[in-house]
C-alpha cells in the first residue's frame, strides 16, 4: 500500500509536469488544481507543505528565464546565500559530504566478486528510492518506481556481489540529505565503480552548489576538456548515485532542463525543490 507521502508526491509531480508543459500560458491556481482533481485550497496547502513555497513561486523557479539567469555566472550567486545561512564554514558543498574512492582494478574487473552489498528501500520527497552500500560507502542510489526492477538494475552493476537487504548507518547518513539536515553531510562517503574520466566528471558535479545549474559545456570547461561536452553527457548519464552526485543540476545551454535518467518531471521537481530551499534561507 502506498504511503500518503508517495500519493502526495504523485499528485505534485503531475502538477509540476502540467506547469512545465504549459508554463508559457502561466496557468493559475485553479487550472492546476483542477488538473490534479483537488480543490484550489487543498492543492495550495499540499503544494506549499511539500515545496515550501506557493505554486506560483514554484512556477517562477521552473521557468526558462530562471535557468538562464543561473547560467550567466559559473559561480552561482545562490550559493552565497546557502553558505551564509546553513552551510557556514563548510567550503564548497563537495568538501562537506563526499570523498570519492574508486574501486580497485580487481573489483572493477570481476564485477564485485567477494563484495558484500547492503541495500534497502526508502521514501524521499521525489518518490521511493533504493540505496546500497559497501563497507567503504554508498555504491548505488536510484529512484525505485518499481522495486523489483530497481533491485535488478543494482545487481547488473555488481553481478557477482553478495546482497543483503538491511539498513545500515552508511545508508542512514546518506538519507539525511533528503531531510535537509546538512550537518550530517560530512559523514557521507561514496564507493564508486567508474573510469578515470567518469570519476572526474562526477567530482565536477559535486562542485555545483545547491541551487546552481550548469550547462554541459560549462561542466566540460570545469574539467579542462572544453570540447568534450558529448562525453561529459555520457558520463553524467552513467552516474550510479542519484541526487548525492547532482547530475540533475546539468541542463542544456538553451536553459531547457533536458533529459534525466529518472524522468524529466522528477528532474524539474528536484531543481525547483532545491531552489526553494535556497530561497527559504535567503529570505
Predicted confidence pLDDT, tens digits, the chain (283 residues): 567 777 777 888 888 788 777 766 677 889 888 988 889 898 888 887 776 667 877 766 555 444 434 434 444 333 332 333 222 333 333 333 233 334 443 454 455 566 899 999 999 989 999 999 998 889 999 999 999 999 999 998 888 889 999 999 999 888 888 876 555 556 678 887 777 678 888 888 888 888 888 888 888 888 888 878 888 888 899 999 999 889 999 988 777 788 888 888 899 888 888 888 776 655 4
Residue with cell 542519484: 242
Q: Which grid cell is 136?
A: 567503504
180 with 217, same domain? yes
* CATH classification at residue 167: 1.10.10.10
87 with 58, same domain? no
Q: Which neighbouring-strand residues pair with 116?
A: 162
Helix (H, G, I), strand (E, B) or coil at 250: strand
* CATH classification at residue 21: 1.10.10.60
31 with 93, same domain? no
Known catalytic residues are 247
* Phi (first) and psi of residue 90, to 5 degrees: -100, -15
73 with 144, same domain? yes
> Could you list the residue range(s) of the whole structural domain that residue 258 is in?
69-282
Which of 177, 22, 35 lies closest to 96, judged by CA? Answer: 177
| Separation CA 66–CA 78 (nearest Å) | 12
13 with 81, same domain? no
191 with 76, same domain? yes
| Burial readout 21-54 (b: 16 or more C-beta within 10 A, e: otherwise) | eeeeeebeeeebbebbebeeeebbebbeebbebe
Domain count along the chain: 2
88 with 132, same domain? yes
Neighbour count for residue 166 (Cβ, 10 Å): 10
- Is-above-0.85 flag for pTM? no
158 with 122, same domain? yes
Amino acid at each position: 500500500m502506498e504511503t500518503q507521502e508517495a500519493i502526495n508526491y504523485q499528485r505534485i509531480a503531475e502538477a509540476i509536469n502540467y506547469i512545465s508543459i504549459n508554463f508559457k500560458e502561466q496557468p493559475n491556481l485553479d487550472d492546476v488544481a483542477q488538473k490534479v482533481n483537488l480543490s484550489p485550497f487543498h492543492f495550495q496547502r499540499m503544494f506549499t507543505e511539500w515545496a515550501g513555497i506557493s505554486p506560483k513561486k514554484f512556477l517562477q523557479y521552473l521557468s526558462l528565464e530562471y535557468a538562464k539567469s543561473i547560467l550567466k555566472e559559473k559561480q552561482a550567486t545562490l550559493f552565497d546565500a546557502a553558505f551564509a545561512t546553513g552551510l557556514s564554514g563548510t567550503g564548497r558543498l563537495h568538501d562537506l559530504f563526499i570523498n570519492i574512492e574508486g574501486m580497485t582494478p580487481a573489483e572493477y574487473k570481476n564485477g564485485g566478486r567477494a563484495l558484500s552489498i547492503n541495500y534497502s528501500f526508502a521514501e524521499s520527497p521525489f518518490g521511493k528510492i533504493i540505496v546500497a552500500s559497501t563497507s567503504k560507502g554508498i555504491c548505488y542510489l536510484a529512484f525505485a518506481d518499481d522495486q523489483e526492477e530497481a533491485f535488478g538494475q543494482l545487481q547488473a552493476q555488481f553481478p557477482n556481489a553478495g546482497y543483503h537487504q538491511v539498513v545500515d548507518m552508511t545508508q542512514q547518513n546518506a538519507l539525511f540529505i533528503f531531510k535537509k539536515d546538512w550537518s550530517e553531510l560530512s559523514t557521507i562517503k561514496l564507493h564508486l565503480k567508474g573510469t578515470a574520466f567518469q570519476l572526474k566528471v562526477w567530482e565536477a558535479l559535486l562542485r555545483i552548489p545547491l541551487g546552481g545549474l550548469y550547462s554541459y559545456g560549462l561542466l566540460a570547461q570545469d574539467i579542462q576538456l572544453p570540447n568534450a561536452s558529448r562525453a561529459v553527457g555520457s558520463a553524467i548519464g552513467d552516474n550510479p548515485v542519484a541526487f548525492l552526485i547532482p547530475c540533475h543540476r546539468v541542463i542544456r545551454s538553451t536553459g531547457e532542463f533536458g533529459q534525466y535518467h529518472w524522468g524529466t518531471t522528477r528532474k524539474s521537481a528536484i531543481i525547483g525543490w532545491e531552489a526553494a530551499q535556497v530561497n527559504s534561507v535567503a529570505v
